[in-house]
Amino acid sequence: MFIDNVTTILLMVPVTLSITRTLKVPTIPFILAQVLVSNIGGAATLIGDPPNILIGSAADIDFNSFLIHMGPPIGIVFILCLFLLKFFFRRELREDQQMEKQSNVHELMERNEEAIIIENKDDLKKR
């Protein structure tokens, strides 16, 4: 809500890709959820979307007034979006599949981060 939605997506999608690949879970539901929720959250504040900045400037609306008037409807749309995403991706996000992946989560949490050392920086730059 307080960062432009495009910036949010650019920062978070690579992290999501890394996590979903590590846990071997479907990527599309999580990326789509991030995009939709970022767009919905961006509509709630003056700085969330570029059109909001134009509207606020033209109508001389301050940040708090915009948030007070847009916050409640955006909250309702956010909750509705979460239910729709859960409905549409119910097969991909089944709990029995998630239970099989739980060992991956434990392995990820117990992984020794110091063991990952870049020995050859030139190879890293090439990839």
Are residues 55 and 63 in contact, defined by beta-carbon separation less than 8 angstroms?
A: no
DSSP 31-46: HHHHHHHHHHHHTTST
pLDDT tens digits, one per residue of 96-113: 555 455 556 666 666 655
Question: What is the rounded distance in angstroms from the CA atom of residue 109 to the CA atom of residue 36?
Answer: 28
Around Cβ 61, how many Cβ atoms within 10 Å? 16
Using left for φ > 0, alpha for ψ between -120 and 50, and beta otherwise, residue 24 falls in left
pLDDT digits (tens, 9 = 90+) for 28-76: 999 999 999 988 888 888 888 888 888 888 988 888 898 899 989 999 9
Total-model pTM: 0.67
Q: Residue 85: pLDDT above 60?
A: yes
Q: What is the reported pLDDT for 26?
A: 87
Give whole-number Cα distances, 99 to 42, 52, 86, 94, 103, in Å: 34, 42, 17, 9, 8
Locate 8 and state its tokens.
């949010």
